[in-house]
Chain A
Amino acid sequence: MGRLLFQAESVAFWLALAPLLALLPARLAYRAACWRADWTFRYWPEKRGEVLTNLQQVLGAGLSQPEAERLARDVFRVRTCEVIDLMRLRGRARSLRKLVEIRGREHLEAALTGGKGAILCTAHFGSYMGAFSLLHADGFPVTTIGRWWWNYPPDESSAVRRMWDFVYARRVLRHRQRPNIEPWPGRVQVALQAAAALRDNEVVTICSDAPPLDAERARTIEVPFLGRKAGLLPGVVSLARLTGAPVLMVFAHRSADYRHQVLEISPPVSMEGDTATAFERCVAAMDAAITAHPAEWDFWFEPGDLASLGLVPDTEPPAAKADDHVDRVSELQESPR
């Protein structure tokens, strides 16, 4: 019953409430988003407990209970604020742009003078989809490599897919140079599509903390990540080496007032050394961003994804995994992988 209530509330929020809130002055819009998050945090004990457990398992026993509670509430707030960010992408995204300070823009501009495009690498961290949209609205031709989460379950209903296309993909893709490049198993043209964009001196984005699919697991490499060894896909390094495109790390994090953000773009990451060595540099940057702003990471909501990365024990029974997509619909916000 509780889950159904939250599913209904989530759908209503995405379809009706959030678009209206986004029209309010930013101060009010983001405050209302935080109220909604606090309400969900308080009255959805199962999800709150899950987030708390995940935080404590990954960040360690050093995290006190009050600190973990505050962090978990922040996780809820950040994710709800990200919905408002997406809604503020309307038009030329000016209503979001004025809230975001972009640092390191000169690194991206310098990277593109090389004529081989640029790869922006990030984690499922902060309002990264909104950040990519802002960069596109600022004049950078951005294309994203990533899978929409609603395309994961093969038996997902067309109504659910259409809803997410309508409320999410439509808004994001308005600020993209090309359609998303979705790396599903068997889609061998994916790297070629990314290479074609880079050859046209465009910007390709990739989240390198994505949990691997079963079919991809053989290609993962073990890298230090959040105090453990995680199995991640080093595709960003392979793509950079084959195309000659520089890799820049990018992270957006929210200020204490929840409405302002800082989008930081790094200088190019060195690709010296073997694949594992170069990839470890990218992973270290993700690790540092998550450690500095833990509430911004998406995967606290996703125990299955954390287990897939090797960060928490895999305790989920197979039947629960099969039903995972049911829970996903009721999340506050999901994110492309």
Chain B
Amino acid sequence: MEAVINDFISKELVQDASLLPLGNATSLLETGVLDSLGLLRLVVFVQERFGITVDDVDLVPEHFDSVDAICAYLRSRDGGKVGQAGGNG
């Protein structure tokens, strides 16, 4: 799961090459990787890739601040089934 998300962010959202390779713990907000529309792109990707719908209450930047945070959020959903179902691509 980490690899899939890291790959998407690295290829689609990181504009500053000096941030690559992207660490899974790197803050995407503090480093400026995510702006408002970038965050939405990331949410759309996660929803489509892992077949989930992020609830309105979960649409907060904190859940998407790093690759680790995203994975932790996904694993917290449905008892971790999300990661098992679609995380190895």
Q: Which of A86-116 contact B (CB under 8 A)?
A: none
Contacts A/B (CB < 8 Å), 21 sampled? A187-B36, A188-B29, A188-B61, A189-B39, A189-B59, A189-B61, A190-B36, A191-B37, A191-B39, A192-B39, A192-B40, A192-B60, A193-B59, A196-B56, A196-B59, A200-B56, A219-B35, A239-B37, A239-B40, A242-B40, A242-B44
Q: Which of A192, A200, A219, A238 has the most B CB atoms < 10 Å from its CB?
A: A192
Across the interface, which residues of A come within 8 angstroms of B43, CB to CB? 192, 195
Within 8 Å of chain B (Cβ to Cβ): is A235?
Answer: yes
Say which residue of A193, A199, A238 sits within 8 Å of B37 (CB atoms).
A238
- The count of chain B contact residues (Cβ–Cβ below 8 Å) is 15
Does B14 sit within 8 A of A, measured CB to CB? Answer: no
Q: Give residues in A with beta carbon < 8 Å to B.
A: 183, 187-193, 195-196, 199-200, 219, 235, 238-239, 242-243
Docked Cα-Cα span, A235 to B36, in Å, equals: 10
Please report whether the interface of chain A is mostly helix, strand, loop or mixed according to DSSP. helix
Quick one: CB contact mask for B14-29 with A, threshold 8 Å, 1 for yes?
0000000000000001
B75 within 8 A of A: no
Asked if residues A183 and B44 are in contact (CB atoms below 8 Å), the reply is no
A-chain residues with CB within 8 Å of residue B36 when the two chains form the complex: 183, 187-192
- Of B37, B60, B61, most buried by chain A (CB within 10 Å of CB) is B37
Instruction: State whether A195 and B59 are in contact (beta carbons under 8 Å apart), knowing that A183-B36, A188-B29, A188-B34 are contacts in the complex.
Output: yes
Do A188 and B39 touch (CB < 8 A)? Answer: yes
